[in-house]
Amino acid sequence: MKATVTRAALSLIGRRDTPRPPDNAALLSALPIPVVLLDPENRFRFLNHAAEQFLGVSSAQAARLPITELLPADSPVFLMIEHVRRHEVTVADYDMTIEGPRMRKHGITVQATPLPEEPGAVLLAFQDASAARSLDRQLTFRSAARSVTGMAAILAHEVKNPLSGIRGAAQLLESSVSEADQELTVLIRDEADRIRALVERMEVFGDKPFDRGAVNIHRVLEHVRRLAQTGFAAAIPFHEAYDPSLPAVLGNRDQLVQVILNLVKNAAEAVIDGEVESPEITLITAYQHGMRLAMPGSTRRMELPLVVTVRDNGPGIPDDIRPNLFDPFVTSRASGSGLGLALVAKIISDHGGLIEVDSRPGRTEFRLHLPIFPDDPS
Ligand SMILES: Nc1ncnc2c1ncn2[C@@H]1O[C@H](COP(=O)(O)OP(=O)(O)O)[C@@H](O)[C@H]1O
Ligand SMILES: [Mg+2]
């Protein structure tokens, strides 16, 4: 079906006297998806630019290497290739781990296709599913953030009032009960205070309107770094890799401070609790084209070219909490609230931005994709 449409379209193009299309190699090279052509002996016939980056080799190096130098002989990719050769069909495999001496990548979709005109040759295309999945995830964060918002409003309203009544009553009783029972009234008072503190922490999730303007993200990062280094991260070396030409973020400074502070605090806790030998936290800013996000319920797409990364060399995010990482009350720490990342997700979502997480032992990265402050604010 697809082929018919394409052929019909091509014949239309042909009739309109358009210039000759570029050759196949040029087309494939421009494709942002890694594509590799193997000959019947599994030697590289061709790699496009994206494949050079993906596999960590140049075309010149690849011409001298069999693919077994890049992927271990027992890699499931070879089973796919053999299947394609034997049955002359296209095979796609999702969520594969591609690893070799030069790389290790998870969640890759690999597509292997035979070339009818070249018996034994196989075309491989690799697609990183994590980008697509992170968009998916962000939408989940949005709904998580929304449920938190509603919950915060209800909690604040329904819990705080009776709570102050309970606390007041306990205080009144304190003066009239025996000394032994005073212990109990004090317990009631202290526990009421603890609930009140929790409710107040939840209130930051409330949907209050906030001002947005041009925020210099480097000032935000430096502010948080100073806070961290005079307090909870005093013993941890920081590294910065800032792109000084970065334009301003469209956002709210205080909220962005809260976001970065939470990420840096988690990073510090990860390296401290993980007893990392030479701990370090790295803050990175960069400009990256091509990240766009559809706004929910609209056809408008928002450009998110500013990337802010907080990286640590701690033990990584525990597997069991990964699927719910951004939900409220999800924590792996005995004294944790599990509200930090829920708040981060809410604020970034309010900013129209996106969060990506990449974590393995020794390297955890939270990447924020944020919009630019437009020159023409309309
Ligand atoms: N940089 C990190 N490295 C490892 N684990 C992390 C990191 N950041 C967050 N986490 C995990 O995510 C959990 C939730 O974080 P958060 O929402 O900030 O709550 P809290 O810090 O109160 O536990 C943490 O308990 C921890 O298990
Ligand atoms: Mg935290």
Residue by residue, pLDDT tens for the chain (378 residues) are 333 344 444 444 444 455 676 677 788 888 888 999 999 989 888 899 888 888 888 888 888 877 878 888 778 888 889 888 988 888 877 767 787 766 777 778 888 899 888 889 999 998 876 555 555 556 556 666 666 666 666 667 678 778 888 898 898 898 899 988 998 999 999 999 988 887 877 776 666 777 899 999 999 999 999 999 999 999 999 999 999 999 999 999 989 999 999 999 999 999 999 999 999 999 999 998 766 665 555 556 677 889 999 999 999 999 999 888 988 788 998 888 888 898 898 889 888 888 889 999 999 999 999 999 987 555
How far apart (Å, rounded) are the C-alpha atoms in residues 36 and 49?
10
Helices 129-174 & 179-203 angle (0-180, nearest 10): 150
Closest ligand relative to 334 C-alpha: 1
Q: What is the dihedral of CA 145, 147, 149, 154, to 10 degrees?
A: -160
C-beta neighbour count of 3 within 10 angstroms: 7
Residue 8: its pLDDT value, please? 41
Residue in the structure block whose two tokens are 């209050």? 208
Ligand 1 site residues, Cβ closer than 6 angstroms = 262, 266-267, 270, 312, 314, 316-318, 321, 325, 330-333, 336-342, 364
Residue 6: its pLDDT value, please? 44
DSSP string, 239-255: EEE--TTPPPEEE-HHH
Give the distance (Å) from ligand 1 centre to CA of residue 67.
39
How far apart (Å, rounded) are the C-alpha atoms in residues 9 and 72?
42
> Residue 188's closest CA among 156, 162, 157?
162
Partner residues linked to 249 by β-bridges: 215, 372
DSSP collapsed to 3 states, 14-68: HHCCCCCCCCHHHHHHHCCCCEEEECCCCEEEEECHHHHHHHCCCHHHHHHCEHH
Q: Residue 319: CB partners within 8 Å, gap ≥ 6?
A: none
How far apart (Å, rounded) are the C-alpha atoms in residues 175 and 172?
6
DSSP secondary-structure letter at 117?
T
Q: At 12, which amino acid appears? A: L
Residue in the structure block whose two tokens are 């009144």? 172
pTM: 0.61
> Residue 31's closest CA among 41, 44, 46, 18?
46
Give the distance (Å) from ligand 1 centre to CA of residue 332.
7
Q: Write the CA distances from 164 to 32, 123, 155, 169, integer angstroms.
A: 60, 69, 14, 8
Q: Report phi then psi at 37, rounded to 5.
A: -115, 125
Give the distance (Å) from ligand 2 centre to CA of residue 284.
20
Structure tokens, 167: 């606390």
Give the distance (Å) from ligand 1 centre to CA of residue 150.
23
The pick from 341, 344, 348, 366 for probing ligand 1's pocket by mutation, whose C-beta has the most ligand atoms within 8 angstroms, reads 341
